[in-house]
Structure 1
Amino acid sequence: MQTVYRLSIRNKTSEQLKFKSIWSHYSFMEVHFSFQVFLSFALVVIFGLVFRVYSSLVTKPHRLRQAFKKQGIGGPPSNFLLGNISDIRRARISAPKAGAATPSPPFFHNCGPALFPIFYEWRKQYGEIFMFSLGNIQLLHVNQYDIVREISTCTSLDLGKPKYQAKEFHSLLGDGILTSNGNFWARQRKILAPQLFMDKVKGMISLIQQSTIILINSWKDVIDDQGGVAADIKIDNYLKKFSGDVISRACFGSSYSEGQHIFQKLRDLEKISSKKVLSTGIPCMRYIPTQSNRRAWELKKDIKALILKLVNQKNEATSENNLMQRVVEEAESVDFIVDNCKNIYLAGYETTAIAATWCLMLLASNQEWQDRVRAEVLEICNGRIPNSDSIKKMKQLTMVINESLRLYPPVAVVSREALKDLKFGNTYIPEGVNIWIMVTSLHTDPDIWGQDSYEFKPERFSNGISGACKLPHLYMPFGIGPRICLGMNLALVELKILLSLILSDFSLSLSPKYVHAPSLRLVIEPENGVDLVMEKLNSPVIA
């Protein structure tokens, strides 16, 4: 029995060992198979990424360039990864500063060649239409009048804002109305546009008047501190505070002081973004934790927190129907609120202030036109603060504003992207190609505006924009087509009330400190600011 029992145990042990051996072999095979599956999947992913990168950096750019070459459209040779970025940088570094060699006051206003020196060289070499690239992004420079007309009148959602700008400036603008496309953009426009129609802007005029009076009184305080007659004042920050106050009051139901931290952080973020313009198209640059990228991410987070804090405060305090309230009511998400608030703050704050700065510089350096506009304002207003009825009658002032926006447009380049294959005239533009229209070039082209195109001559607008040049559609200080600036009405009313009141209370001349040096950041602005000698008039409108 014991022998049988031992044999039984021995057989069971043998079977167990055999089973373990089989199971171990099976487990090994299973692990091996899993490893092979994982390795195959990893290789597929790696090859997919390599193919995608190769397609993005090599195949697609080559295909797009070939599409233009077949149409007889050339351009400068493009380098791998950088495209023409190095060429553009070298040209900007070696070019003289815009206006650096011009006397003060400037007599000629041709800042384009200094801001975009190599583009003027390329135009001479390749013609009015040529291609170039920023990294792997392919762009078509268009200066041909008939094609610009077609682009400016195109209403298709297939022609939108460049996707690369939305990516590169995402910290600054998010997915707001300035960068979005398609039905999402159309919905945002439907929400925002009615709040900036002229009938709504008329209701904001008292707010604009209040902000202007605050500005003028601050200048009078400076003059009083310097003897009571005149003072040398750098006007830039005052005007930015003014425009910030207007946009805060009119659109957010607050004031500049409440939104001051938002404006400052947006300004800091804008400076960082403008420095990265020429790294656009270099793969993955926006993801690398460089010092500027880390600072941009930090500012984005701070701005979001400040905007949401302001929104919550205003929602609790009032049910006032303003633009911000409309955005909050229609918001799909928190980011929808934050992004569109950032877009409104930036567009209303920066561009209007800089437009006013250039306009005052031109008036200060052209005494005849300053006197003409002042006489018109005093006659129409007769000692009263200008309102919606009186500013309509200010023809001389309107001519000066139009001429200032012609010579120093807030936006130097109108850019679009073909979101699908498009055709303008005989030019086929494949999907993914970006279009650049140089506003500075078109606004000062002697063939359009005459041989005095670089001179400040507001009289050219005596019969309106249509009578000012041969091709009125080429005048585009507020952009073109369906994407034209929503705040145009507000900006023009701001400028008219601001300038009319300033000229009613002060005589202006350029300071000896002033150095004429237009500079390109996200907008064209005076690099060193604008210094004016401001003298109080004997019979001011604002006592």
Structure 2
Amino acid sequence: MKMIINLIYTLRPSLVFTLLPQDLDPPLMEVTAGCCVLGVALVFMFFVWRLSNSLWFEPKKKEKLLRDQGLDGSFYKFMFGDLKDLVQMTNEAKLKPMSLTHDIVPRVSPFFYKSLSTYGKNYFIWIGTKPVVQICEPAMIREILSNYYQFQKPRGGNPLVKLLVTGLVDVDADQWVKHRKIINPAFHAEKLKYMIPAFYVSCCEMINKWSEMLLDEGLHEVDIWPHLQTLTGDVISRTAFGSNFEEGRKIFELQKEQATLAVKASRSFYIPGLRYFPTKINKRMKEIDREVKATIRSIIDKRIIAMKAGETSSDDLLGILLDSNYKEIKTHGNRSFGLSIEEVIEECKIFYFAGQETTANMLVWTMILLGLHTDWQTRAREEVLQLFGKRKPDIDGLNRLKTINMIFNEVLRLYPPATIMRRLIYKETKLGNLTLPAQTLVEINPLFLHHDCDIWGDDVNEFKPERFSEGVSKVNKGQASYLPFGGGPRICIGQNFAMLEAKMALVMVLQCFSFEPSPSYSHAPHTIMTLQPQFGAHLILHKI
């Protein structure tokens, strides 16, 4: 404040005379100039105060409020919070692989693991100027996930990250209800039978490629990770766009690149307006966004023309989505009850990100774990041969798999695709015995929950599919402690799709190959939006 007063005092009215009309009387000019200087100074003071308040005083006020309630956590650091430490520790953890153990939390989330060890299960850290309250109590987690009006998806942050996905995963409140209602039919259990042929064709292509590699090149070692990504990308291309799946493959490749760029953007402090600078990342992300939207729009336009001509397409996700959208608009007689073309495009982008990433991650960790635990690989293969022999898997048989269900559940416990879920509160909110200030981020960490020995026992880091022999609800006793697909009303809409696709792929692999980790395999789980093997998944394949 003293600096501002000195500035006003030293500024002379004569300095701004040139800004005023020259035909004014000198005394009037001097008074007017003085008012201008004072006005500029007051505006400057106002913005300095607003900036100081948002970057320091408000965060410190929230920190005191949280500490007064008994929560422990890190001390707020000006502007960046804990962002620098978080990025540094994550990058250091990625420098080398870990031992072959399922105790992966220290490598995947080193900063959060250190905070958990230091402050206890419920604590807070800082992402920029926002406090992030980590919640590990299942009762409080259930409350967060069930109340989607109060605990909403975070807004703001780096707008470039939004170029990856918006749509159903990003909208809230009434908008979410509308999107979910229209999209639901595409993932109805009755519709999944239409997807089986696409699953089978894509799996056949991968199996044949592996067989040719072993036969023609005499290779036994295969990095299965890129093959599984291609498989799930092809599946979502076929199931989303049907006959346009070649164009869908192009979208998949672009979305994969966009995800990598989005992670880089999310781990830097965003300065408002920075997205307009023509940096290399900014330009590439916007270019990808334009290309993906243009490709999807072209496919949608062709489909709408076909629908108007009387053609029906109810065997792919886009066709079902457009049909559901049309019925919703027709029922209410108002386009506002349906999705716009732009919103349909965003939902198609989500098909790629959610549908491809989740299944590929589940499959790669399943094959790695079955390679390490060959007794369970043998049990799974026996079940497959008993149900199908060498025949083409059918949906009835896939739904009767028990051992493979247990295996998938345990893999998803140890290696959940999404390691964190965040919600933002927009007004002061009561959660359990805590009162959280507005603009607080609430974080649920499935990785921590799934590796919590208080919940799962001393053998928490062991691969034991028999935990799920009586189903998920039996083992977690109805608590919100097992969240591979999220939970509450916003649980992943595509989980049945992902599970059925993964079953088809694993069944066909087990029919044709046995496998174990290669000596060159490096165990290095890390996150690029989802939990992935950093250095690939090198397995030794044996043709059966």
TM normalised by structure 1 equals: 0.85
> In structure 2, how many angstroms separate the alpha carbons of the residues matched to 1:413 and 1:425?
20
CA distance in 2, matches of 1:283, 1:141: 27
SS at 2:72's partner residue? coil
2:514 match: secondary structure: strand
Q: Check conservation: 2:211, 2:543, Cα contact below 8 A.
A: yes
Distance 2:46 2:189 in 1: 53
Amino acid at match of 1:457: K
Q: How does 1:45-64 map to 2 (within 5 A)?
A: 49-64=47-62
The question of whether the paired residues in 2 share the 8 Å contact of 1:143 and 1:438 is answered with yes
Shift of 1:249: 1.9
Task: Name the residue aligned to 2:401.
Answer: 394
Give 2:190's aligned residue.
Answer: 199
Shift of 1:446: 1.4
Q: 1:169 aligns with which of 161, 182, 190?
A: 161
Q: Is contact 2:135–2:443 with CA below 8 Å preserved after alignment? A: yes
**Compared CA separation, residues 458 and 45, structure 1 to 2 (3 A):** same
| Residue from 228, 231, 243 that aligns with 1:242 | 231
State the AA in 1 paired with 2:504.
I
Cα distance change, pair 295–29 in 1 and its aligned pair in 2 (3 A) = farther
Larger Rg: 1
Q: Could you tell me which of 143, 148, 167 is aligned with 1:150?
A: 143
1:502 alignment partner in structure 2: 509
Unaligned residue ranges in structure 2 (runs of 5+): 1-20, 330-337
Change (3 A) 1:263 1:29: farther
**Residue 324, structure 1, aligned to residue 324, structure 2:** no
User: Aligned pair 1:351/2:375, yes or no?
Assistant: no
Q: Which amino acid aligns with 1:129?
A: N
Structure 1 residue identity aligned to 2:446: V
- Give the aligned partner of residue 242 of structure 2: 253
My pick for the range that moved more, 272-281 or 176-185, is: 272-281
One-letter amino acid of the counterpart of residue 111, structure 2: I
C-alpha contact 2:161 2:265 (8 A) present in aligned 1: no
Supply the distance in 2 between the matched residues of 1:497 and 1:215 (Cα, whole angstroms).
Answer: 12
The answer for the alignment partner of 2:391 in structure 1 is: 384
Rounded Cα–Cα distance in structure 2 between residues aligned with 1:470 and 1:281: 42
Tell me what 2:301 maps to.
Answer: 312
Q: Paired residue for 2:257?
A: 268
User: Partners in 2 of 1:59 and 1:424 — Cα distance?
Assistant: 24
1:122 maps to what in 2?
115
Give the drift of 1:280. 4.5
Question: Once the 2 structures are TM-superposed, how far is the Cα of residue 494 of structure 1 from its aligned partner?
Answer: 0.6
| Amino acid corresponding to residue 131 of structure 1 in structure 2 | F
Q: Per-residue deviation at 1:404?
A: 0.7
- 1:299–1:36 CA distance, 2 compared to 1 (3 A): farther
Choose 483-492 or 71-80, whichever is displaced more.
Answer: 71-80
Q: Kindly report which structure 2 residues correspond to 1:411-490, keeping only aligned pairs within 5 A, or say none.
A: 411-469=418-476, 472-490=479-497
Partner of 1:9: none
Question: How far is the alpha carbon of 1:70 from its aligned partner?
Answer: 2.2
2-structure distance, mates of 1:316, 1:132:
52
How far does residue 288 in structure 1 lie from its aligned partner after superposition? 4.2
Shift of the 126–448 alpha-carbon distance from structure 1 to 2, 3 Å rule, reads: same
Q: Which amino acid aligns with 1:161?
A: K
8 A Cα contact 1:165 1:179, kept in partner: no
Aligned to 1:159: 151
d(CA) in 2 for partners of 1:35, 1:494: 73
Kindly, what percent of the aligned residue pairs are identical?
32
Residue type at the aligned position of 2:251: I
Q: What is the correspondence of 1:68-87 to structure 2 with a 5 Å cutoff?
A: 68-87=66-85
Local SS of the residue matching 2:124: strand
* One-letter amino acid of the counterpart of residue 130, structure 1: Y
365 and 42 in structure 1: CA distance in 2 versus 1, 3 angstrom threshold: same
Q: What displacement does 1:32 show?
A: 10
Q: How many aligned positions are there?
A: 506
How far apart are the structure 2 equivalents of 1:160 and 1:248?
30
Task: Give 1:297's aligned amino acid.
Answer: K
- Separation (CA, whole Å) in 1 of partners of 2:425 and 2:35: 41
Aligned equivalent of 1:364, options 347, 371, 384: 371
Is the CA contact 1:506–1:534 (under 8 Å) kept in the aligned structure 2?
yes
Deviating more after overlay: 35-44 vs 246-255:
35-44
SS of 2:169's equivalent? coil
Between stretches 210-219 and 502-511, larger displacement belongs to: 210-219
Q: Deviations over 1:465-523 (max 9, x none)?
A: 12334664201001121221111010001111111111011111222221111111111
Deviation at 1:34, TM superposition (A): 10
Matches within 5 A, 1:285-300: 285-300=274-289
Are 1:419 and 1:431, in contact at CA under 8 Å, matched by a contact in 2? Answer: yes
Cα distance in 1 for partners of 2:73, 2:42 equals 37
Alignment partners' CA distance in 2, 1:456 and 1:162: 34
CA deviation map 1:400-449 (0-9, x unaligned): 11111111110010211113332221111222111111211110111211
Aligned to 1:302: 291
| 1:134–1:282 CA contact under 8 A, matched in 2 | no
Local SS of the residue matching 2:182: helix
SS for the counterpart of 2:362 is helix
Cα displacement (A) at 1:37: 9.5
Match of 1:222 among 197, 213, 217: 213
**2 CA distance for matches of 1:205 and 1:401?**
19
Aligned to 1:4: none
Question: Partners in 2 of 1:131 and 1:478 — Cα distance?
Answer: 24
Q: For the structure 1 residues 182 and 32, does the alpha-carbon distance in structure 2 shift closer, same or farther, using more than 3 Å as the test?
A: farther
* Aligned AA (2:163): S
1:203 aligned counterpart, secondary structure: helix
Find the aligned partners of 2:411 and 2:40 in 1 and give their Cα distance. Answer: 60
DSSP 3-state at the match of 2:285: helix
Residues 172, 273 of structure 1: 8 Å contact kept = yes
- SS for the counterpart of 1:394 is coil
Q: Measure how far apart 1:316 and its partner are.
A: 4.0
Deviations 1:291-311 (CA, angstroms, capped at 9, x unpaired): 222222222222222222232
CA distance in structure 2 between the aligned counterparts of 1:383 and 1:93, rounded to whole angstroms: 45
Matches within 5 A, 1:35-46: none
Kindly indicate whether the alpha-carbon contact (under 8 Å) linking 2:240 and 2:348 is maintained by their aligned counterparts in 1: no
> In the superposition, relative to structure 1, how do residues 36 and 449 fare at CA in structure 2: closer, same or farther (>3 Å)?
same
Deviations 1:446-466 (A, max 9, x none): 121111111111111111112
